[in-house]
A and B are shown apart, each in its own frame.
Chain A
Amino acid sequence: MNDYKALYLHFHDNVAVALSNIPEQTTVPLQIEDQRFTVKVLDAIRFGHKFATRMIKQGEDIKKYGEVIGIATSDIHPGHHVHVHNLTSKPRREV
């Protein structure tokens, strides 16, 4: 295993956050409580940026902190960068 670190914040999340600059094609270990798993990061991900931890279909909610931070504007495969190019704010429910 390598020293590249990433943070997986909530069981419902489908993204993780890089805690260091991760080069492309790097397998990164993730942990939440006692569960450990790995994701092969396909794009270069800078500190603070997100990558998909599982397949996210176009139109699907993107979740961080267990909450919806936006929806996918295209299919996002595990390990790909998730940012403004494939995530947009979800239209707010009218009150």
Chain B
Amino acid sequence: MEIYEKSMKFWGYRRKDGRVGVRNHVLILPTITCAAQTAQRVTELVNGTVSFIHPHGCGQIGADFDQTYKTYVGIGAHPNVYAVIVLGLGCESHQANKIAKEIEKTGKPVEVVSIQDQGGTLQAIADTAKIAVRLVQEASTMQREECDFSELIVATECGGSDACSGLSANPAVGKTSDLLVELGGTAILAETTELIGAEHLLAQRAVNDQVSKRAYEVIEAMEKRSVLMGVDLRTGNPSPGNIEGGISSLEEKSLGAATKSGTSRLQEVINYAEQPTKKGLVWMDTPGHDIEQLTGMVAGGAQVVLFTTGRGTPTGSPIAPVIKISTNTPMFEKMNENMDLNAGTIIDGIETIDDVGKRILLEIQSVASGKVTKAEVLKQYDFGIWRIGPTF
């Protein structure tokens, strides 16, 4: 079954900034926690809009302020978003107008509503909804066109892992990642925390010394942050439970997560919520937290997310479809409304890692062309920013 030869296509939305979207959302972007409920009301009134609840946007300073700002802009500028209504309160530190101006550079329609300027919640809801009605109808006239897989950025992550993760779904995603890279696309590996102990192996795959050095640096910085909290992530790993399960070294444990990246050369290491500047395999420095890494990779422009899980999680994004891949068959059957694909067939001896890797690639094609994922059907709109400083 050679379904992919040298190129693969999907049906996407071509945007003015040259990027390609796989969804056509009108986003109500609350840049401050105080506006999140108002944004939510608008999504209840206007079909075709998305938003999310979050606690960020005020009392933030320095590098932490910048990281949140970058995330908002990345989410608003995302090619899966046709238009944005930036919804602010008015007095917060993350000013809606400034964020809107940054998103406007993509050429997409951007509007701003401020709750304080509108004179309260109800008027802000009405005004935002009226703008949203116009934008949703406008968005619906966009046609999908044939796009190449080389225009895809696919995020990879694992959450709620089990003893099967490193044997079935993660290596299968690694195969998919390699195929995607061969097709000229981009795959993002993240969750720096989970890679501690395998950094020298990833560094060996770096395209040059600079990238290799960055790989060591982001691991060291992550370890230092945990030491500041009084915990050394390296000692005590692998845990007695890991050893009982057959894991013999920290390298082996971390490779179970790193295997999602396949065997391609590591092109660059990028910061949280930053867009990759290279095609191929890219490592984004994120924490292991499921929602924070998801948000970072989507803000970095990932149009589709591959998410492997052994215990089963409902995780989804308001912006990018998340394809959930079960590591074992019992959980796939038990939590079927949350799972899109089953890699447990590898454990069952029915399919090989290569078979499942190819099946995932085909699912990316379907989903990128419009097939909805379970997380989208269930409106699982998770959003969380990796805060790197305390709130002031």
A86 nearest CB neighbor, chain B only: B248
A65–B255 contact, CB under 8 A? yes
A contact residues around B248 at 8 Å (CB): 50, 69-70, 82-84, 87
Chain A residue numbers with a CB within 8 Å of B349 are 5, 19
User: Does B263 have its Cβ within 8 Å of any Cβ on chain A?
Assistant: yes
Query: A14 to B243, alpha carbons, bound, how many Å?
Result: 19
Find out whether the CB atom of A48 lies under 8 angstroms from the CB atom of B252. Answer: no
Contacting residue for B200 out of A48, A84, A93, CB 8 A:
A93
Q: Say if the beta carbon of A39 comes within 8 Å of chain B.
A: no
Inter-subunit contact B245/A69 (CB<8 Å): no
Is A49 among interface residues, defined by CB-CB distance under 8 A?
yes
| A47 proximity list for chain B (CB < 8 A) | 163, 246
Query: Smallest CB-CB separation from B256: which chain A residue?
Result: A65
Is B246 a contact partner of A64 (Cβ separation < 8 A)?
Answer: no
Given contacts A66-B263, A67-B251, A93-B200, contact A17 B347 (CB under 8 A): no
Count contacts on A: residues with CB < 8 A to the other chain: 30
**Which chain B residue shows the least CB distance to A70?**
B249
Which residues of B (161-179) have their CB < 8 Å from a CB of A? 163, 167, 171
The answer to whether B249 touches A88 (Cβ under 8 A) is yes
CA distance A44 to B308 in the complex (A): 30
Judging by beta carbons under 8 Å apart, are A46 and B200 in contact?
Answer: no
* The residue from A19, A46, A68, A92 contacting B347, defined by CB atoms under 8 A apart: A19
Q: Are A64 and B346 in contact (CB under 8 A)?
A: no
Contacts between the two chains (Cβ within 8 Å), count: 67
A17 to B246, CA, bound (A): 9
Residue on B with the closest CB to A19? B347
Least CB separation from B238: chain A residue: A84
Distance in angstroms from B277 CB to nearest chain A CB is 24
- Closest-by-CB residue of B relative to A87 is B248
Q: Write out the residue numbers on chain B whose beta carbons fall within 8 Å of the beta carbon of A90.
A: 251
Q: Which B residues between 314 and 357 are near A, CB-CB below 8 angstroms?
A: 346-347, 349, 352-354
List residues of chain A with CB within 8 A of the CB of B259: 65
Chain A residues near B353 (CB-CB < 8 A): 7, 9
A-B contact pairs, 12 of them (CB 8 A): A17-B167, A17-B246, A19-B167, A48-B245, A49-B246, A65-B259, A66-B263, A70-B252, A82-B248, A84-B243, A88-B249, A95-B213
| Interfacial residues, chain A to chain B (CB-CB below 8 A) | 5, 7, 9, 17-19, 31, 33, 46-50, 64-70, 82-84, 87-90, 92-93, 95
Closest 10 interchain pairs by CB? A48-B246, A49-B246, A69-B252, A5-B349, A70-B249, A87-B248, A89-B249, A48-B163, A48-B245, A69-B251
